[in-house]
A and B are shown apart, each in its own frame.
Chain A
Amino acid sequence: MLRFIVRRLVQMVGVLVVLSLLLFLWLRSLPGGTVSAILGERATPQSRAAMEAQFGLDQPIWVQYGKFVGRVLQGDFGPSTSVLPGTDALTIFFQRLPATIELSFFAMLIAIALGIPLGYFAARRRASLLDNASVIFSLVGIAIPVFFLAFLLKYVFAIKLGWLPVSGRQSGDVDATRVTGFFVIDGLITREFDASWDALKHLVLPSIALASIPFAVIFRITRASVLDVLDEDYIRTAESKGLTNRVIRGRHILRNAMLPVTTTIGLQIGALLAGAVLTERVFSFGGLGEALALSFERRDYPVLQVLILAAAAIYVLVNLLVDIMYAVIDPRVRTR
């Protein structure tokens, strides 16, 4: 088990090294490069050369890469150029991280709490009305562009009906004390429950929009996987033992069906940031996703570096956790 984890960790480091190289090359090949991005229209050959020397761009490429890695390891990505001009890019990342974690948590909560039970019951009643309806529902969830769903929810429930806030994480008239940066938790800690409640209301629409794809994927995998398990001989054995429905469902069907579902949930958590880019932009949510969208639009390369690297690192880390988790629940992997 330990060896398995160590091996996966080594693999992960390898992936990160290749990623950093790709990121470096990618940044170098962005149109105009860092220098023109900073200087913009004002660039003269002299100022350009001066700045290139300042950034070490006149040195051989492998030296530049070495310095790049060095800076990345120190967390020195430079100040933001246009998203929050002057602020350190890494600081922006840490400021905005809680918002995205909060949003992702609620989105995954919705996706899992809806996807797994619905997938199970759809499979148990295959070809029933419930099955057909939920399959079509999940396919629509996949076919609808996330940002359009976000727009639609915002238009109907916030603008037309006025039930929920239009954008942001907290209403302007709520004066909340900040502790952790997780607004819902902050409210609970400081006993400013109205602030918590307000933050929760702000989370509803974005989390639903963000949950649409993970929900659809989790539902479909659960359904397919339960169908597969129902066909297995050991389910017949369990039935032949006269076990109660509850035991057969939990211990025999779900325990086995959850193996592929776990992997899927991990992949979806990793991919959530992509959806967050779109959702947060629509709701001006103030998390990493919005920062990413803005830094692409405004070509803010220092912020872009942090965010892309972080996104990849989070993805790789989540996958590692999923593999370990898989080994924990599947004895065939664990005891090999």
Chain B
Amino acid sequence: MSNATASSTTDPGTDTTNVADRDKARRWREGGSEPLLRVRDLRVTFQRQGAEPFEAVQGVSFDVHPGQTVGLVGESGCGKSVTSLAIMGLLPERGNKVSGTVDYEGTNLLELSDQQMRDKRGKDIAMVFQDPLSSLNPVIPIGLQVTEVLERHRGMSRKAATPVARELLDRVGIPDPDRRLRDYPHQLSGGMRQRALIAIALACQPRLLIADEPTTALDVTIQAQILALLKELVEETGTALVMITHDLGVVAGLCDEVNVLYGGRIVERGDRHDLFAQPRHPYTNGLLASIPRMDAPRGQRLVPIPGSVSDNLPWTSACAFAPRCSQPIEVCTQKMPELEEHHQRALRCFNPVEVSR
């Protein structure tokens, strides 16, 4: 726990490089293992009656290897949550179009029937949501909300599942689990509820866990605890984790690889340490510059990113970020930059930030 607290309050950019971590990341990328999840050219378009179709996700591709923790970072509306819901098959039935491929161990999830997807959800792929109070059913006890997953996917009886549920609650650090099994969500504290949600998600030992802003709705002190718990659990069980967040502090403490999204597209990708040490995209750079740093000289001002998402240009004919960029050049408003891979990094920018060292 103290470990996580430290990583989220100390500066993420300072060189606390853990050599073992870095080696692990390289191994994944250099083809040591097949990716567990391979997302290719994922597009999600929302169509509403009487409104222009809106493409929330515009061709996102990334890999998640077994046991790896991958971050999807960006501000509200960048398409990160829609991406996760599309992977889970949880987008509303009507009013949207999903294309591309989402390969999970070689099966394209987007082609599965509703029933086949139901068999995967909660068993192979699980999800933790943002607001733990509204994400738990208010009128049934916590215990049943845990055991129903075990009953569904492991074919256990209610009776057999109860001790397992008790153990799960204990494992995620909920004190007095016997009592909590009978409690209702409103009787638990915010942190406790999020722990319960994590217990539910991990009940069937999924190979992939998607966490959508799991700490945003929590108190600052609780946030660190929950992050530490998540980190501990995924390391212990070898579960791969896709972490969706707007908070670079969360990423710094947790993720092996980071994808930065802007306007529905990935603009930069890299190993956590490389990315924090040497951001190349002006957006990533701006995000880092707007975080207060403990080691910054006294009196140095924080630099916010000017403007908002509503200033975006369409990606089809420009760089969407150009109007807010600190260093735009002429070409930025004329055509779209492609995502180019080099040296285990990927970057979508005509005029990247200079390498300082």
Residues of A participating in the B interface, judged by any CB pair closer than 8 Å: 232-234, 236-244, 247, 251-252, 255-256, 259, 329-332, 335
Residues B121 and A240 in contact, CB atoms below 8 Å apart: yes
Partner of A234, one of B135, B144, B186: B135
Residues A242 and B138 in contact, CB atoms below 8 Å apart: no
Residues B137 and A241 in contact, CB atoms below 8 Å apart: no
Partner of B122, one of A233, A234, A242, A256: A242
Complex interface: chain B residues within 8 A of A330 (CB):
138-139
* Min CB gap A328→B, angstroms: 11
Partner of B200, one of A232, A239, A241: A241
Residues A241 and B139 in contact, CB atoms below 8 Å apart: no
Contact sample, A vs B, 23 pairs, CB 8 Å cutoff: A233-B134, A236-B90, A237-B127, A237-B200, A238-B137, A240-B201, A241-B126, A241-B200, A242-B119, A242-B121, A243-B152, A244-B152, A251-B148, A252-B137, A255-B137, A255-B140, A256-B139, A331-B141, A331-B186, A332-B138, A332-B139, A332-B184, A335-B187
**A83, B88: Cα distance in complex, Å:** 69
Residues A240 and B122 in contact, CB atoms below 8 Å apart: yes
User: DSSP majority for the A interface?
Assistant: helix
* Chain B interfacial residues counted at CB < 8 A: 32
**A233, B122: Cα distance in complex, Å:** 16
Across the A-B interface, the 4 shortest Cβ-Cβ residue pairs: A242-B121, A242-B122, A241-B122, A233-B134
Complex interface: chain B residues within 8 A of A332 (CB):
138-139, 184, 186
Residues B152 and A241 in contact, CB atoms below 8 Å apart: yes
Partner of B135, one of A237, A251, A259, A329: A237
Given contacts A236-B129, A247-B152, A331-B184, A242 and B118 within 8 Å (CB-CB): yes
Instruction: Digitize B136-169: 1 where CB-to-A-CB distance is under 8 Å, 0 elsewhere.
Output: 1111110010001100110000000000000000
Instruction: Digitize B176-203: 1 where CB-to-A-CB distance is under 8 Å, 0 elsewhere.
Output: 0000000010110000000001001100
* Min CB gap A64→B, angstroms: 51
Q: B274 at the A/B interface (Cβ < 8 Å)? A: no
Complex interface: chain A residues within 8 A of B201 (CB):
240
Q: Which residue of B lies closest to A126 (CB)?
A: B94
Given contacts A240-B88, A240-B126, A242-B123, A233 and B152 within 8 Å (CB-CB): no
**12 extra interface residue pairs, beta carbon distance < 8 Å, beyond A242-B153, A243-B118, A332-B184:** A233-B131, A233-B134, A236-B135, A237-B129, A241-B121, A241-B152, A242-B121, A247-B152, A255-B137, A256-B138, A256-B139, A335-B184
